[in-house]
Structure 1
Amino acid sequence: MQLGRLGIWYAADKVGGAGAIADFVKTVEGLGYDTLWYPESRGYESFTVGGYMLSQAKTLKLGSSITSIYARDAFTARRGMISLNTLYGDRFILGLGVSHVPMVEGLRGHTYEKPIPAMRSYLNGIMKGETGAESWPIALAALRPLMLKLSAEMTRGALPYNTTPKHTAKAAKALGPDKWLAVEQKVTIETDPARARALGRAELSRYMGLDNYRNSWLEIGFTEADLADGGSDGFIDAMVLWGSAEKVKDGLRAHFDAGATHVAIQPVHAEGDRAARDAIMKALADT
């Protein structure tokens, strides 16, 4: 499987019911995007909604970004990935992640284990006894050096989330030239700074208290002051690109210049504003 240049990252929960999801998938495909990425959510089970979205498209790839290793055992994840690719023409990418303590222990009632050993064990479980497993379309949610190293050793590549071109450059170096580096980037086509940053802070609020992201942000040069009180203007501007379409495209190209092989655009907009979502995707489809 080859991964194209541009994708969309968007939660199926935010889209709505079956009809709205079908329309959204067709819109993404019609705009020429290569892959639609979606997270493990509380509303839809990952493989179920992935299969439904695949059924609504002809060529669009679907990628879980991410499926939690705590949501199903390795055997089930293997069979789910193989089944979706068999049924839908090799268009499914299994993006895996270790999730976060509140989602694992609070929501699911599991014990959150050390990320690297847990992921390595899970990957071993998926690939056990399978020939050609090294070429399967599996990638990892990876931010810091050890998970990036594991991504390079055992999978097709990495799916960094909430990062900057500075991080992309480090990730590209860690992965090497033959791996996928599919970077998520939040965007909004909004030229008013106050409105753009308000949208950005609202979107980022769910991530600000999660240690995985905070540690990564601090590691790439942000400070505790940047992360306080909803995030400094500089931090928000880096996490959510805003401005004219051309300005946002420049920010997306910076990831490619830093070594990204794929950029997944996440539209940021007022809640329920599907017109704004679609307008963002249309404006950036030729990046």
Structure 2
Amino acid sequence: MIWSQRLGTVGVWRSGRDLDGGLARAIQDLGYGTLWLGGSPSSDLRQAEELLDATSSLQIATGIVNIWSSEAAELADSWHRIEAKHPGRLLLGIGSGHREADPDRVRPVDAMARYLDVLDDRGVPAEARILSALGPRMLAMAAGRSAGTHPYLTIPAQSAEARQVLGEGALIAPEQTVVLDTDAEAARIKARKFLRLYLQLSNYTTSMLRGGFTEADIAGEGSDDLIDRIVVHGDAAALAAAVRAHLDAGADHVCVQVQPARSDIIATLRALAAELDLSAEQSGS
């Protein structure tokens, strides 16, 4: 079975510090196909293994293992250990982080190539990994050396562009941040609090500019247009429409990140699952 079928059409992105087995089971029970383990999981993949142990059918994907802080050989060994225990349920999302947080981040495309060389040498198949590719050079590498791409903080037009570059058969699995709040001003306050850090990171602001936003959009705390399109807010129908927009643009799978992270994310995920009729997908109807 190919990853686009394994993952289901909709998953959940959640920082590892805010995850445990009970939450993973609740996400599985709501019909979501995949849990993306965010926050630069370590190369020992112990938390991914624990989440797989705690669930029966949920796929786990890393979003993302940072090549500057996770050793490639250990990651390969960890993948083999988990693949033997939970065959076909772990997808390695790998990325190069951002310059501001990683002072050693030099020539990230070349560094990624070397990292993938180690995974190749240690028997991790290309189809078992996916790259966080925001720029054209990394996207080209994703096409040739992985199952596809897992972009973060992008819009549906960028999913369409990724499909044009990668072609049919590649996996495109964007993250979509959502806020379940019909009060637009209140929702924008929450969205801006979440985006504040990312608007200071050049890889994300460059990606936003590539997506059609302007310098004015990314300045300060971000324009209302940028906020509304990157962090979609409204009722469950509006959030579901944002997910469908990525799928209609060519994505195979969309992982939703609920904000605020410390809110009752299950309430949001339950409302969204009902709107998307995930129970029907889970049952194969």
Structure 2 length as normaliser, TM-score? 0.90
Summarize the Cα distance change of 1:76–1:45 in structure 2 as closer, same or farther, 3 Å threshold. Answer: closer
Q: Does 1:128 align with 2:132?
A: no
Offset of residue 102 of structure 1: 3.2
Distance (Å, rounded) in 1 between the aligned partners of 2:120 and 2:209: 34
Offset of residue 82 of structure 1: 1.6
Offset of residue 213 of structure 1: 0.5
The one of 2, 5, 9 equivalent to 2:9 is 5
Residue 7 of structure 1 contacts residue 35 of structure 1 at CA under 8 Å; is this kept in 2? yes
Q: Secondary structure at the match of 2:182?
A: coil
Distance (Å, rounded) in 1 between the aligned partners of 2:105 and 2:256: 29
Offset of residue 83 of structure 1: 1.2
1:108 maps to none
Offset of residue 76 of structure 1: 1.2
Residue 13 of structure 1 contacts residue 41 of structure 1 at CA under 8 Å; is this kept in 2? no
Letter in 2 for 1:40: G
Identity rate, percent: 32
Summarize the Cα distance change of 1:46–1:142 in structure 2 as closer, same or farther, 3 Å threshold. Answer: farther
Distance (Å, rounded) in 1 between the aligned partners of 2:122 and 2:134: 29
Distance (Å, rounded) in 1 between the aligned partners of 2:197 and 2:83: 32
1:149 maps to 140
Offset of residue 61 of structure 1: 0.7
Q: Does 1:192 align with 2:183?
A: yes
Residue 150 of structure 2 contacts residue 174 of structure 2 at CA under 8 Å; is this kept in 1? yes
Residue 40 of structure 1 contacts residue 68 of structure 1 at CA under 8 Å; is this kept in 2? no
Off by >4 Å, runs of 4+ in structure 1: none
Q: Secondary structure at the match of 1:102?
A: coil
2:270 maps to 282
2:57 maps to 59
Q: Secondary structure at the match of 1:38?
A: strand
Offset of residue 113 of structure 1: 1.8
1:23 maps to 22
Distance (Å, rounded) in 1 between the aligned partners of 2:136 and 2:194: 26
Distance (Å, rounded) in 2 between the aligned partners of 1:147 and 1:45: 21
1:161 maps to 152
Distance (Å, rounded) in 2 between the aligned partners of 1:77 and 1:45: 4
Residue range with higher mean Cα deviation, 93-102 or 82-91: 82-91
Alignment of 1:90-101 (within 5 A): 90-101=88-99
Residue 187 of structure 2 contacts residue 233 of structure 2 at CA under 8 Å; is this kept in 1? yes
Offset of residue 5 of structure 1: 0.8
1:14 maps to 18
Alignment of 1:150-229 (within 5 A): 150-229=141-220
Residue 43 of structure 2 contacts residue 71 of structure 2 at CA under 8 Å; is this kept in 1? no
Q: Secondary structure at the match of 1:26?
A: helix
Offset of residue 129 of structure 1: 6.1
Between the two proteins, the alignment pairs up a number of residues equal to: 271
Offset of residue 4 of structure 1: 1.6
Q: Secondary structure at the match of 2:106?
A: coil
Offset of residue 173 of structure 1: 0.8
Q: Does 1:114 align with 2:113?
A: no
Residues 214-250 of structure 1 show CA distances to partners (whole Å, capped at 9, x for unaligned) of 1111111111111112111000001111111112211
Structure 1 unaligned runs (5+)? 16-20, 106-110
Structure 1 length as normaliser, TM-score? 0.90
- Superposed CA RMSD: 1.7
Alignment of 1:80-91 (within 5 A): 80-91=78-89
Residues 111-135 of structure 1 show CA distances to partners (whole Å, capped at 9, x for unaligned) of 21211111111111110263x8233
Distance (Å, rounded) in 2 between the aligned partners of 1:45 and 1:203: 26
2:282 maps to none
Residues 119-172 of structure 1 show CA distances to partners (whole Å, capped at 9, x for unaligned) of 111111110263x8233x100001121111110100001001000011111011
Offset of residue 59 of structure 1: 0.6
Residues 68-93 of structure 1 show CA distances to partners (whole Å, capped at 9, x for unaligned) of 01123221111111211212232111
